[in-house]
Structure 1
Amino acid sequence: MSASAETSVASRWDIVTVAMMTGILAGMQIGKVAPALPILRADLGLDLVTGGWVASLFTLAGAAVGALIGASADRIGPRRAARFSLLMLGIGSLWGGFSDGLTEIMLSRSVESLGFIGTAVSCPRLIVGAVAPKDRNLALGIWGTFVPAGMTIAMLMAPVAMPAIGWRGIWILNGCLALAMIAVLAWKTRNASWTPPDAAAAPMSPLQGLRLCLGRGGPWLLALTFFAYSMQYLSVTAWMPSFLMEARGLEYEIANYMAAAVVAANMIGNVLAGIMLGRGMTRQTVLLFAFAGMALCAAATYGPWFDTAPRIVAAILFSAIGGLIPGALMAATPVHAPATTLVGVVNGLMMQGSNIGALTGPPLIGAIVTFVGGWHGATWHALIFCLVGSVGAVLLGWRERKLDRA
């Protein structure tokens, strides 16, 4: 039975599930760093800025060539692209677990970054091809939870696993899980097809598809808006355990459980975005509400006004409200793709913007906190990029209204 979104009688939620499992594994490779960061910094004598680079280097490949990887994934097909991505995640994580120093950890994280961006661009293509059009917003909204879901699992595991197997054992375990997932993905999608209705057109090379997408305004606006979101969200979550331990005096285990709650809250917004869009709310409205909420909650988290408990509540709300943004943006990739065969290219360009923000955000926060001498400096970081994201949301809304009139 074809899983094409345009021709399938019913949505293949089993394929959506296995794509989600793949994405969650990729998200775990982000989440495993935050609990280990205080230990890594202590073991290797890293300052805040260098520690931020360890956290963010995972996004290097996506920041550098995300759109081209998306075009290549469209060319070879989502099944093969997803399997190759899992292979890169597995190799990178195992290499990091057996590494001898900071340089090897950095290099291994770069390999993992190839796997992450490959997963991020191929799995949505699996999902778009596996669900009926009426279920697309919901399915892609659910897909938007893959990063916070994976991060939450990794952060909840850390207080138990870290004393037992150390950070190296966590890296090795994650590598083995990624390699095992290759077989699960291959088996579950063995009889499915992702040939879209416009596939009869002359095939395009990755560079041709990339040029076509770069000539449209929508993909650029998706990338800009996701950049503004990731600049804040992954910066806050990567540093949350350190912030709670260093600035608020929490113990390691409590700090990581609270940080995991912050990350997990993001999934609420991811799913809610799909529901809101499905009920007729415009993408611009969802995005503007989310950026305004993130700005207020970031000020409450890092400003000088509250004790620890209200700050944690504000951080949880920051994450939950912010979750509306990836849910809304990921549901927009089919809207702004010039053809169904180019969904991966648009998604790759959007993820490139996201990964640039994730790559530069954590070290930038570390530099700001170091420069001003306190975590209150992170408030200005959030406010600036909420403003940038709001501009992107307004322009994206204008673009979609223009498409509706065409």
Structure 2
Amino acid sequence: MSAVVALSPERTEWIAVTAVVAAGMVAAMQVGKGLIAGPLLQADLGLDLTALGWITSIFAIVGVAGGMPAGAMVAAIGDRRMMVIGMGILLIGILIGAVSPNFSLLILSRLFEGFGFLLVVVAGPAILMRIVATSRRDLVFALWSCFMPAGMAVAMLSGPLFANWQAIWWGNGLVALLSLLTVIAAVLPSRGGPRASASGIRSDMLTTLTSRGPVLLFALFSLYSLMSFTLSSFLPILLVARMNVSFATAGVLSALITLANVIGNLAAGTMLARGVGRGRLVIVAATLMGAAGLWIFLSQSGDTLTFALCVLFSAIGGLIPATLISSVPIVSPRPELAPMAMGLLMQGSNLGQLVGPVAVGIAIETFGWTSGAGFIGAGALCCILLATMLNRTLRTKPQETA
């Protein structure tokens, strides 16, 4: 005798949300694995630091170039279908990388991974907007915003458990395959509807680019990413210099600091659900993040204080991406343009990720560690100024009480 257990709509919704957030984490693990596998790649393939830089920065290049086009593809093809395609491309890239005998094929595999990553992180919020009730949207988007720090932390903590870099790739391939199958099983496809033509997509992209709200979110996320990667790109080196620990220990501490970002992500969801203004939340977060960052770069604090400030910087910073991501449906010119606005937001994230480490690296080599404070201070100040504009923009939206 068999029994069929019918799941409640709310439980089905949360299962789908979990599958989507997990897919984002799996995509983010592919960024983190490039960082943790650096020494192994250097030893096996003889890569120099420039080549290793390409292994990680190729994701940002793809994101800067393809953010809005990815959003247009989601709008034209469908969110669930695009996430499945993105996970498939990600898996193909991982498998190609696992068997790569040289740098050329490995960098090609990273292009596949970068494109798959982009499709997943743009399609994910579109799925969540469709399947989640409006009353739970802030909380769910706060969970979604955890995908990047959580995925990177998992990759950095699990990487040392593998014997070689190929094993890291194979392990990630298995996880990506399981995630793909979970998305297929847990996420229902969207109802069929009219798809935009090529001319319609161009018009929608122009509308998004000329709308104040999406452009503000793009600029704010660029600044947040600039500040965040100003510190995180050189975090292991900074911890070794300040705390006199080994690189292995610095790697674990860096992963814990990255994971602290999740605290801010989840806290933002709770505060937004309780009616805290979005612009005000960004202003407070940018102020505290800037203060902690300036202290880190300008002072010569001891090991305990340095670590505590880095944790504070990461945790407080997590308030910003969760707030901005959950604001996309509100500031989009039309609901159907939200995927394009999300794509524009991801372009901002990747722009800061691409420009920040290069500019800060040059400045530190030329002027020393204190020069990093300039990027943190300028980024925080601009963030505060733009957040006041975001407040005014949100006040024109009747559905938001910013």
TM value normalised by structure 1: 0.88
Structure 2 contact 25–151 (Cα < 8 Å) conserved: yes
- Structure 1 position 269, deviation (Å): 0.7
Say yes or no: does 1:179 pair with 2:177: yes
Residue 170 of structure 1 aligns with an amino acid whose one-letter code is I
Say yes or no: does 1:57 pair with 2:53: no
Distance between the aligned counterparts of 2:399 and 2:180, measured in 1? 43
Distance between the aligned counterparts of 2:157 and 2:179, measured in 1? 21
Distance between the aligned counterparts of 1:341 and 1:381, measured in 2? 36
1:318-333 to 2 correspondences below 5 Å: 318-333=313-328
- Structure 1 position 9, deviation (Å): 7.5
Distance between the aligned counterparts of 1:242 and 1:79, measured in 2? 40
Partner of 2:390: 396
Residue 322 of structure 1 aligns with an amino acid whose one-letter code is G
Partner of 1:275: 270
Structure 2 contact 283–384 (Cα < 8 Å) conserved: yes
Deviation larger for 51-60 or 200-209: 200-209
**Secondary structure of 1:173 counterpart:** helix
* Structure 2 counterpart of 1:169, from 167, 170, 191: 167
Structure 1 contact 53–363 (Cα < 8 Å) conserved: no
Partner of 1:158: 159
- Structure 1 position 235, deviation (Å): 4.1
Partner of 1:264: 259
Distance between the aligned counterparts of 2:385 and 2:321, measured in 1? 16
Flag structure 2 segments of 5+ consecutive residues without an equivalent. 1-8
Count of residues in correspondence between the two structures: 390
Partner of 2:73: 72
- Structure 1 position 247, deviation (Å): 5.5
- CA pair 26-45 structure 1, distance change in 2 beyond 3 A: closer
- CA pair 89-242 structure 1, distance change in 2 beyond 3 A: farther
After superposing on structure 2, the runs of 4+ consecutive aligned residues of structure 1 that deviate more than 6 Å are 8-11, 200-204
1:32-181 to 2 correspondences below 5 Å: 32-40=33-41, 44=46, 46-47=48-49, 51-161=52-162, 164=163, 166-181=164-179
- CA pair 296-69 structure 1, distance change in 2 beyond 3 A: same
Residue 219 of structure 1 aligns with an amino acid whose one-letter code is P
Output one character per residue of 1:337-359: Cα deviation in whole Å (capped at 9) or x when no partner: 22222211110111111111112
RMSD: 2.5
Structure 2 contact 214–341 (Cα < 8 Å) conserved: yes
TM value normalised by structure 2: 0.89
Distance between the aligned counterparts of 1:30 and 1:152, measured in 2? 10
* Structure 2 counterpart of 1:194, from 165, 169, 190: 190
- Structure 1 position 29, deviation (Å): 1.3
- Structure 1 position 385, deviation (Å): 1.6
Residue 114 of structure 2 aligns with an amino acid whose one-letter code is S
Flag structure 1 segments of 5+ consecutive residues without an equivalent. 1-7
Distance between the aligned counterparts of 1:195 and 1:400, measured in 2? 30
Partner of 2:5: none
- Structure 1 position 59, deviation (Å): 1.8
Distance between the aligned counterparts of 2:37 and 2:296, measured in 1? 22
Deviation larger for 86-95 or 280-289: 86-95
Structure 2 contact 230–375 (Cα < 8 Å) conserved: no
**Secondary structure of 2:27 counterpart:** helix
Partner of 1:4: none
- Structure 1 position 291, deviation (Å): 0.8
Residue 113 of structure 1 aligns with an amino acid whose one-letter code is G
- CA pair 52-398 structure 1, distance change in 2 beyond 3 A: farther
Distance between the aligned counterparts of 1:285 and 1:336, measured in 2? 16
State, as a whole percentage, how many aligned pairs show the same letter. Answer: 31
**Secondary structure of 2:37 counterpart:** helix
- Structure 1 position 228, deviation (Å): 0.5
Distance between the aligned counterparts of 1:60 and 1:390, measured in 2? 27
